[in-house]
Every structure is written in C-alpha cells, then in structure tokens.
Amino acid sequence: MELKWLEDFISLSTTGNFRVSSEQRFVSQPAFSRRIKSLEAWIGADLIDRSCQPVKLTESGRTFKPIALSIIHQAYQVRRDIRGQSLARREHIKFASLNTLALHFIPCWLKRHSDIFDLDFISVRTDYMGLDSYLTALDAAEVDFFIGYQDKAQSMLLDPVKYPSILLATEVLMPVVSPDRHGNPSWWLPDKPQSAIPYLRTNSHTDKNNSHLYWSVGHHIQTQYAELTFSAVYESSSLSAIKAMALQGFGVAWLPLSLIRDDLECGKLVRAADTNSDIDVDIKISKSAGNQSAKLQQYWQALSTHYAEPHH
C-alpha cells in the first residue's frame, strides 16, 4: 500500500468525482482510477460506489475513511518529527499559502519585513487541499500563519475570533484576453457579444470551500453578465496554466494583476472589459487563536503594530 493511494481515496471521498480528484492530485484520470483500484485490491473490498454520480463511499469505504485519515496524519506527523529534529536548534517559522501568493507575493513581502522575520529558516507550504485543510493545519500548529485571498463579500468565511487576521495588501482580479492582430481585445464584454464567450476557469470554481476566492468570479459573472453566455473551454488548478492558455488566445480569464502585469505592459494580454469588471480582493494573514506560542505572539504583535500605522 502506498500513502498516495490513501490521499487519493480521501480526495475522492470529498469531491465524489474522479476527474476533479485526479486534477487535484496532479495525475491523469486513468492513473488515478488505477490507484483507487489498487487500494481496493489491497483492502480486499470495494471502497467506492461507482453506480451513482457523484460517486459515494461504500459501507467498507465509510469504515475505512477515518483509518485512512489517521494513517495519513501519523505518517506526516512522523515525518515532521524527524525533520524537526534537524531544525530543533534553528529559529524558524512556518507559513501556508496558495501557490500564486507563494510565487508572486510572499518573497517580496518577507524581504520587506526582514526586521520582523529575522530567522534562520522559513518554510512556505502550498500543498494543502482546500481551505479547511489550511485551517486544520493552523489549529494543529503544523503551520504558524496562513496567507490567503479573501473576497470582501466573504467577510464571514473565517471566524474572526478563532482565526484573527491582518490585512496585508489588496489584489485585483482582472478580465483579460489575448489581442487580435490589430491589438484589440479578442472579446470585449461590454459589447455584449451574442455568441458564447470562451472562458478559462479554475477547476474548483463551484466549490466555495476549496476555491478560496475564485468562486467569486463565477458570482461576478452571474450578477454582472447574466445576459451573456460563458462557455468553459479550459480549467486548471494552476493560474499560470490559465494565463498560458489566455496568452494563446483560448478565451477570457480573470487573473491577478500581479501575475499578468508584465504581459499587460508588453501587450501580450489586454483587458476584456473596463475597470468595472475588476474584482478587488484582500490578501490577509491569519493565525489560530489557540496557538499561544510566545514567539508567535511576538511576530503577530509586530505585524499588528506595523499594519495599524496610518500609511497602511
């Protein structure tokens, strides 16, 4: 039995969809299905009821799920303990974040706050599946802080008492497309095109719990462009992949300005609508109120003081 089989099983028990889970697990759907079957063969029983959509756990699957979760937890706990031995004498801090922020926000942010985070070692994890997993990691002190997006309309998504947060910056999700040969947008939404508009989206678009902020794009489309028809032609969990498809002219995408700034400046991407179609989102850092580490409280107080200053 392999640990990845158990993680596949947990993912499928959550999504109920082989295609979605295979994308979340970054493996082809046939390979993902084979791994589920391998786990079932090892257990000696069917764990998944494939006769319905979405698929569901069988009785054996329901019995096995808490055991699988326990095995996964224990395996990673042992790994953390062993790795921690080599870091025991080094002052370090652990962040969890989304991949896009880890690439395009956190490095500059950490450098800007080197006076606060003057550490020997910093880790940033981006491998949690869904917001619940990030918050569970905070509760279990697997990580010290979570840095993520929060749509202003989602102000109650995180319990402010259980997960106090600090506003670090704001980001803009901008609708963009590749230009035509004259440099004009391939699709201009305010013109209300009659034909279906090809749309590039994240694959967790309909799941508020797992998509962090990107569900808000769907809500924005439904409210501001209810009279238009958007046809999803591509989806991915990677914003960089979505940007690559937009660059090749496959459709319209709402992407973070920090990710596409250079492409806008050189004209490889252009707006698909005016600024009224931009979506403002916050970038916030959160911690668990239950983590009372003295060092963590020191960092939090320093950040709170810094971002309470008038120029922030």
Domain presence at residue 31: yes
Cα 187 to Cα 228: distance, rounded to the nearest angstrom: 12
16: which DSSP letter? Answer: -
Which class for 127: exposed (0-12), middle (13-18), buried (19 or more C-beta within 10 A)?
exposed
Q: Are residues 106 and 123 in the same domain?
A: yes
Domain presence at residue 312: no
Kindly report, residue by residue over 190-235, the tens digit of the pLDDT.
999 989 999 998 765 434 333 455 667 877 888 888 899 999 999 8
pLDDT score of 273 more than 70: yes
Residue 80 vs residue 200, higher pLDDT: 200
Q: Are residues 296 and 274 in the same domain?
A: no
CB-CB neighbours of 269 under 10 Å? 23
Q: Are residues 161 and 217 in the same domain?
A: no
Which amino acid, residue 179?
Answer: P
Note down the domain range covering 98: 86-168+283-307
* Percentage of the residues of the chain whose pLDDT score is greater than 90: 54
Kindly report, residue by residue over 172-193, the tens digit of the pLDDT.
999 999 999 999 999 999 999 9
State mean pLDDT over 91-120. Answer: 84
Whole-structure pTM over 0.75, yes or no? no
Q: How far apart are the first and last CA of the chain?
A: 51
Q: Are residues 179 and 257 in the same domain?
A: yes
Least confident of 75-84, 87-96, 189-198: 87-96
Number of H helices, E strands in the chain: 11, 11
Query: How high is the pLDDT of residue 210?
Result: 39
Least confident of 7-21, 155-169, 279-293: 155-169
Query: How high is the pLDDT of residue 204?
Result: 53
Q: Are residues 215 and 303 in the same domain?
A: no
Q: Are residues 117 and 30 in the same domain?
A: no
Residue ranges with strand state E in the chain = 48-49, 56-57, 92-97, 121-125, 145-151, 165-177, 197-202, 230-236, 253-256, 270-271, 279-286
pLDDT score of 89 more than 70: no
Cα 149 to Cα 103: distance, rounded to the nearest angstrom: 14
Which uninterrupted H or E stretch holds 227?
none
> Residue 114 — φ and ψ, nearest 5°?
-65, -20
Kindly report, residue by residue over 106-162, the tens digit of the pLDDT.
999 988 888 887 667 788 988 887 777 888 888 888 899 999 887 765 544 677 888
Q: Are residues 71 and 96 in the same domain?
A: no
Q: Are residues 94 and 140 in the same domain?
A: yes
Kindly report, residue by residue over 41-67, the tens digit of the pLDDT.
999 999 999 999 999 999 999 999 999
Q: Are residues 78 and 209 in the same domain?
A: no
Confidence category of residue 86, pLDDT binned at 50, 70, 90: low
Domain presence at residue 25: yes
